Amino acid sequence: MEAALAPDLEICDPHHHLWDHPTSRYLLDELHEDTGPCHRVTSTVFVECLSAWRTDGPEAFRPVGETAFVAAQATESDERRAAGGAVIAGIVGYADLRAPEIADVLAAHVEAGEGRFRGIRQVSAWDASPDIRTSHTDPPPGLLAEAAFRSGFAALGRAGLSFDAWLYHPQLDELADLARAHPDVPIVLDHLGGPIGIGPYAGRRGEVLDAWRAAMGRVAACGNVALKLGGIGMPIFGLGWHRQESPASSEELAAAWGDDIRWCIDQFGVDRCMFESNFPVDRQSCSYTTLWNAFKRIAAGASPAEQGALFHDSAVRAYRLDGRGQHGTRP
């Protein structure tokens, strides 16, 4: 365990999951164990992960069960705040934006979210290599360009909701095309844009990062895209932290990712960047405290105002957690 660096710096963690699997539990108790004792994490955003879907009724509406489940956990987080741990302030759920009844599905999510529902994540991460695992919702190649998907994507904008994107670095230009076609819909790009480091990309980190930087520059030119700085503990990035005898230290994490994350901040600006935990996924490689220490090391050269944006304000603005409209531009 590491002691928390800069423990008074306020944090909004804009990306975590909740689940209760036979071999892995991460619910409010576990979230509060992570967010309570060390860093000053005051609020979080839950992101979909197939938890508590309805098992009957129309298929398009079954993911609304997850939003209702998380809303109940969020209400409990309010009640337990005095004992320590963050409040779940926002919910990003799942919907298949290709569904003909998508407007009604989005309305059902909003109602189930009890004031906390902020948007949809429909993962598009796909790669032709069989060595790259299929994402949990099994997307087809080219999802973001499908006419039915784009129709549903436009419905997000009409509903005042945002879109979380999770894809791999060879797909970044697909996202840039989507963002240019729908500049009124806020997009939050997860996990640094997914620079893959396994399968056919293993041992080619320099080449991968060159291609990733070029594509990320084109995404950054789209003013409606914000970026989550995290996911660095995921095995798919290829650095093998999860195979070490002991968890990665914050110094190791910062040394491996500091230059690339600072480059992202330069491209997108602090107002469109936010650090994220991606827990419990990233605990394969490090502890929650260690991860945020790594982020604080990476951002050590930033001004207090810039650090405030990266660790709290940009996430609050992107997910409208302060009551303002999308990215602060709508009532």
Residue tagged 């827990």 (tokens):
279
DSSP-based three-state secondary structure for 188 = strand
For the cut 60, the answer to whether the pLDDT of residue 330 exceeds it is no
Q: Are 283 and 234 in contact (CB under 8 A)?
A: no
What the block records as the tokens of 264 is 């992202």
Name the band, by pLDDT with cuts 50, 70 and 90, for residue 37: confident
Q: What is the pLDDT of residues 163-205, one digit of tens each?
A: 999 999 999 999 999 999 999 999 999 999 999 999 999 999 9
CA dihedral sign, ordered 90, 248, 170, 210: positive
Rounded to 5 degrees, φ, ψ at 157 are: -60, -45
For the whole model, what pTM was predicted? Answer: 0.95
**What's the CATH class of domain 10-328?**
alpha beta
Peptide bond into 280 cis (omega under 30): yes
Q: Which residues pair with 34 in a beta bridge?
A: none
Average pLDDT over residues 31-54: 95
Among candidates 159, 157, 220, which has minimal Cα distance to 193? 220
Q: Which helix (H) or strand (E) holds 202?
A: none
Q: Which tokens hold the place of 326?
A: 């999308």
% of the chain beyond a pLDDT of 70: 97
* pLDDT, tens digit, 9 for 90 and up, residues 269-321: 999 999 999 999 999 999 999 999 999 999 999 999 999 999 999 999 999 99
| Cβ neighbourhood burial of 117 (10 Å; 0-12, 13-18, 19+) | buried
Condensed to tens digits (0 to 9), the pLDDT of residues 73-116 reads 999 999 988 777 899 999 999 999 999 999 999 999 999 999 99
> Is the pLDDT confidence value at 28 over 70?
yes
- Spatial neighbors of 192 by CB under 8 A, at least 6 apart, are 227, 228, 229, 230, 231, 232, 260, 261, 264
Give the pair of three-digit tokens for residue 113.
């979210």
What does the chain come to in residues?
331
Q: Helix 147-158 crosses helix 172-181 at what angle (to 10 degrees)? A: 50
Report pLDDT for 327: 31
Chain-centroid distance of CA 311 in Å reads 14
Taking the mean position of all CA atoms in its chain, how far away is CA 214? 22
Per domain, the residue ranges of the chain are 10-328
What is residue 84's predicted lDDT score, i.e. its pLDDT? 77
Banded model confidence at residue 329, pLDDT cuts 50, 70, 90: very low
Confidence class of residue 325 from pLDDT cuts 50, 70 and 90? very low
